Amino acid sequence: MNKMIVIDGVDGAGKGVQTRRLQQSLLSSGIFCILTREPGGSPGAEQIRELLVNGDPDKWDSMTELLLMLAARKTHLRETILPALAQGKWVISDRFADSSRAFQGIAGELGLDIVNQLHQICIGDFKPDLVLILDIDEKIALSRAEARGQGEDRFERKGGEYHAMVRSAFREIASSDSSLYRLIDASGSMDEVSTQILSTINQAFSLSLQLSDAS
């Protein structure tokens, strides 16, 4: 009964911490799993990540970003996700296809039709089993992201208006399919958010995961 779970949302929402905590909860319960991310998650995709997350915010237009994202996603899927699932492992991913829908499709104004058409060509019918959207005020999220000071800040530097559109886009996506998406209030403490996530996953997959201390 292995599954793929994605945690997505605006930059600074806490995806990195929560994916690590979720992985530890799964491992502690005896479930074999891998933790991966987008853009990236495989050697080739990590090289493409460098192009996307560093440099001037305006160096790529939305279509170029999308094509780079899809190239990274294709190799990520082929080299990392599908082999892990074939081995019976669960997959936890920090971002996946809905980031393209939110960032390039809606905030980047390409339109969801274009993003979905290109996604179908490149990725086909594959989709995760559950997508958790971490929802938080974009101003708070951006301040968190800036406080990290770890570079890779090209998208963060696109500005508050852009990220307000990203947040709105994720909320729109989350409301489109209640069987696939769950909106998680990410404004609380790490433990509060983790508890929401585990409760949602336990209910979705009849598990009994417990809160992990990992961060």
Q: What pLDDT does 107 receive? A: 97
Confidence band of 147 (pLDDT split at 50, 70, 90): confident
- Model confidence pLDDT, tens digit, residues 164-193: 999 999 999 999 999 999 999 999 999 999
Other Cβ atoms closer than 10 A to 56: 8
- Model confidence pLDDT, tens digit, residues 110-127: 999 999 999 999 999 999
Pairing of strands 130-135, 4-9: parallel
Confidence band of 212 (pLDDT split at 50, 70, 90): confident
Phi, psi of 96 (to 5 degrees): -160, -145
DSSP string, 105-154: IIITSS-HHHHHHHHHHHHTT---SEEEEEE--HHHHHHHHHHH--S--T
Ordered structural domains, the chain, with CATH: 4-205 (3.40.50.300)
Q: What pLDDT does 180 receive? A: 98
**185 three-state secondary structure:** strand
Confidence band of 144 (pLDDT split at 50, 70, 90): confident
Tell whether the model's pLDDT for residue 49 goes beyond 90.
yes
**28 three-state secondary structure:** helix
**Per-chain mean pLDDT for the chain:** 95
**Mean pLDDT (whole number) for 139-160:** 84
